[in-house]
Amino acid sequence: MYINFGEMKPQEIYITMTQTVIPRPIAWILSENPDRSLNLAPYSYFNAVCSDPPLIMISAGVKPDGAVKDTRDNIRDRKDFIVHISSLAQIDEMNASSANLAPGVSEVDTLGLETTAFDGSRLPRLTCAKVAFACSVYDIHYLGNGPQSLILGEVHGVFVDDSVIGEDAKGRMKILADRINPIGRLGAGEYVSFGEILTRQRPD
């Protein structure tokens, strides 16, 4: 079957894209609202895009009513934010944080999530997350007819929980992905757990 995007509405394209670009990592983003409460929302249009400087990319659309998402405005206006990698143990809280709450209502408070000070940022990180990136806005580009906000964040440091750090055969630090047990996003309300690690030697 060939699916012709030229004959589809944007929402239909979105549904098809999110069911075929799979699995996608999820950025569980903590940002600061204008009243200094904490906003929390998941984004799966997300990945690492550069290492010099270290940059991550988040693509933020608009709400169902066409309004701009709080995360985009918070990052644009206050410049810093935290990106967490959620584990399978947090799937319900992560999913619940995607609800369209009224502006200024904190998902962190609503869900009763604990935060802790983060050395690399003035903002706290979620205590439950095994990985957290301290970020600041590097650039924001506006794409398409939405418009979609392409947010580039510079990573200043990363917290990695001691429980997921080990050593490789040469005694070097190795971050153990199976102990993070990250969630991947599929389409609609579907997610995928980490599963089996498959190893292949890369060719020279």
Is there a domain that residue 170 lies in? yes
What amino acid occupies position 197? Answer: I
Do residues 59 and 150 make contact, with C-beta atoms less than 8 angstroms apart? yes
User: How confident is the model at residue 104, as a pLDDT?
Assistant: 80
User: Considering the chain, what is the average pLDDT of its residues?
Assistant: 93
Q: Is 17 exposed, middle or buried (0-12, 13-18, 19+ CB in 10 A)?
A: middle
Q: What is the pLDDT, as a whole number, of residue 195?
A: 86
Q: How far apart are CA 36 and CA 32, in angstroms?
A: 6
CA distance 28 to 25: 10
Q: How many structural domains are present in the chain?
A: 1
Q: Predicted confidence band at 10 (pLDDT cuts at 50, 70, 90)? A: confident
CATH code where residue 178 lies: 2.30.110.10
pLDDT at 88: 96
Tell me the per-residue pLDDT of 99-140, one tens digit each, with 9 for 90 and over.
Answer: 988 888 899 999 999 999 999 899 999 999 999 999 999 999
Is residue 202 assigned to a domain?
Answer: no
Give pLDDT, residue 85.
98
Q: Give per-residue pLDDT as tens, 25-81.
A: 999 999 999 999 999 999 999 999 999 999 999 999 877 666 778 999 999 999 999
The span from the CA of 93 to the CA of 108, in Å, is 9
What region does 195 belong to: left with phi over 0, alpha with psi -120 to 50, or beta?
Answer: left
Mean pLDDT of 153-172: 95
Amino acid, single-letter form, for residue 87: S
Q: How far is residue 96's CA from residue 106's CA, in Å, rounded to a whole number?
A: 12
Is 18 part of a structural domain of the chain?
no
Question: Would you say residue 3 lies in a domain?
Answer: no
State yes or no: pLDDT of 179 exceeds 80: yes
Task: For residue 126, give the 3-state DSSP assignment.
Answer: strand
Predicted local distance difference test score (pLDDT) of residue 144: 86
Q: Is residue 52 part of a domain?
A: yes
pTM of the model: 0.93
Would you place residue 199 in the very low, low, confident or very high pLDDT band (cuts 50, 70, 90)?
A: confident
User: Does 174 reside within a domain?
Assistant: yes
In 3-state terms, what secondary structure has residue 14? helix
Residue 178 lies in a domain: yes
Q: How confident is the model at residue 133, as a pLDDT?
A: 98
Give the model's pLDDT for residue 62. Answer: 76
Give the residues across from 42 on adjacent strands.
Answer: 28
Q: Which domain holds residue 36?
A: 23-192
- Asked, for residue 10, whether it belongs to a domain, the answer is no
